[in-house]
Amino acid sequence: MKIGFIGLGNMGAPMAANLVAAGHKVTGFDLAAPCPEGVQTARKAAQAAQGAEVVITMLPNGAILRAVAGEIIPHMARDAVLLDCSTVDVQSARDVAQIAQDAGLMAVDAPVSGGIGGAAAGTLTFMAGGTEEGFTKVAPLFDIMGQKAVHCGPSGNGQAAKICNNMILGITMIGTCEAFALADKLGLDRQKMFDVVSTSSGYSWSMNAYCPAPGVGPHSPADNDYIPGFAADLMLKDLRLSQQAAEAADADTPLGLAATALYQSFVEDEDGAGQDFSAMLPRFVSRRRS
Ligand code: NAD
């Protein structure tokens, strides 16, 4: 397939490299990052999009996606697919899909889970929104870049699934960290705490697969000085998207709101920026009840 790839940062570069390794012809564009080996460099986003059957975008946010989409859509071939894998707000995903459809294109929003490691290993999970036809056309690319793709419904539903999942993740990580900090103060050994909770009703992915306590449970960023992993800054971005969506949809998400406020002070006022999102544990340990 002839593929355009716009946004070759931490995630986009290894994803594009995997497409090249699978034999696809990829032309890439990024404002700052270099194209990985085997990806032909375009001078402009529009040039990467021209003549491509699928154009993939992997960009920082919805405003940038809207700007890039406005630039490339007029240059895309009819029946081509605009496949956005960035994490953006639901409304931007839906608006961009509408503009693409009005121009005779197909649009699929397919944010990912699995992080930089998953992007490099080709084991991402894609949650996709868009038509059946669009999803079917890009499904072989999901198979190369990932291990699983779920078609979640019409445009924007991929982003909806992503932010709901990450809202749960932010909330359970905070719950797990505050419980460890309480256990410490009650004199409960962390290993015993893990042994009980990981096999009891308090278990979760945050506890069982990504334990925030160093030396306890499976290997995780906690065992590597809380170097990300999944940065607290990115968790804050996703929680903010969840709250933006909740406000627009008039949904009551009090714990999502509280998690957003906690990650915001952690990242902006404490020392959380650049740390893994599980570094909430030392943050709670160092604090007293307020
Ligand atoms: P990144 O900042 O490393 O990469 C984004 C790239 O987009 C940069 O190289 C930047 O130069 C480029 N860019 C910005 N504006 C551009 C424009 N107008 N034209 C062309 N290129 C432009 O970010 P990342 O970690 O690769 O994340 C990309 C997306 O994936 C984000 O939406 C993020 O939320 C999501 N995501 C990231 C992770 C992760 O662990 N890093 C995990 C899941 C999802």
Query: Per-residue pLDDT tens for 104-118?
Result: 999 999 999 998 889
Compute, in angstroms, the gap from residue 47 CA to the centroid of ligand 1. 19
What is the biggest distance separating any 2 CA atoms in the chain, rounded to whole angstroms?
65
Smallest CA separation from ligand 1 atom 17, residue: 31
Residue in 31, 127, 230 to alter for ligand 1 test, most ligand atoms within 8 A of Cβ? 31
Q: For residue 212, what pLDDT is reported? A: 98
Contact 33, 16 (CB under 8 A): no
Task: Read off the tokens for 123.
Answer: 């084991």
Q: Residue 210: name the closest of 224, 112, 201 by CA.
A: 224
Catalytic member of 2, 162, 185, 237: 162
CB of 125 sitting under 6 A from ligand 1: no
C-alpha distances out from residue 129 to 156, 208, 243, 278, Å: 5, 30, 20, 29
Q: For residue 235, what pLDDT is reported? A: 97
CB of 119 sitting under 6 A from ligand 1: no
Alpha carbons 64 and 235: distance in angstroms, whole number: 19
Compute the CA torsion angle 183, 236, 5, 24 (nearest 10 deg): 20
pLDDT digits (tens, 9 = 90+) for 13-53: 999 999 999 999 999 999 999 999 999 999 999 999 999 99
Q: For residue 217, what pLDDT is reported? A: 97
CB of 12 sitting under 6 A from ligand 1: yes
* H/E run at residue 25: strand 25-29
* H/E run at residue 157: helix 157-185
Atom in ligand 1 nearest the alpha carbon of residue 116: 40
Task: Read off the tokens for 168.
Answer: 């749960």
Compute, in angstroms, the gap from residue 264 CA to the centroid of ligand 1. 20
Catalytic residue status for 148: no
CB of 7 sitting under 6 A from ligand 1: yes
Compute the CA torsion angle 174, 63, 39, 72 (nearest 10 deg): 150
Smallest CA separation from ligand 1 atom 12, residue: 7
Residue in 27, 55, 58 to alter for ligand 1 test, most ligand atoms within 8 A of Cβ? 58
Q: Residue 159: name the closest of 84, 101, 99 by CA.
A: 84
Q: For residue 199, what pLDDT is reported? A: 98
Q: Map tokens 């940065």 to a residue.
A: 231
Interior/surface letters 194-213, b for 16+ CB within 10 angstroms, e for the rest: beebbeeeebbebbeebbbb
Q: For residue 252, what pLDDT is reported? A: 98
Contact 177, 281 (CB under 8 A): yes
Q: For residue 222, what pLDDT is reported? A: 98
Instruction: Per-residue pLDDT tens, the chain, 290 aa: give them.
Output: 999 999 999 999 999 999 999 999 999 999 999 999 999 999 999 999 999 999 999 999 999 999 999 999 999 999 999 999 999 999 999 999 999 999 999 999 999 999 888 999 999 999 999 999 999 999 999 999 999 999 999 999 999 999 999 999 999 999 999 999 999 999 999 999 999 999 999 999 999 999 999 999 999 999 999 999 899 999 999 999 999 999 999 999 999 999 999 999 999 999 999 999 999 999 999 999 97
Q: For residue 290, what pLDDT is reported? A: 79
List, in sequence order, every beta strand (DSSP E) within 112-214. 112-113, 124-130, 146-151
Task: Read off the tokens for 187.
Answer: 């004199």
Q: Map tokens 């943050």 to a residue.
A: 283
The model's pTM is 0.94
Residue in 10, 15, 244 to alter for ligand 1 test, most ligand atoms within 8 A of Cβ? 10
The answer, yes or no, to whether the previous bond of 118 is cis (omega within 30 of 0) is no
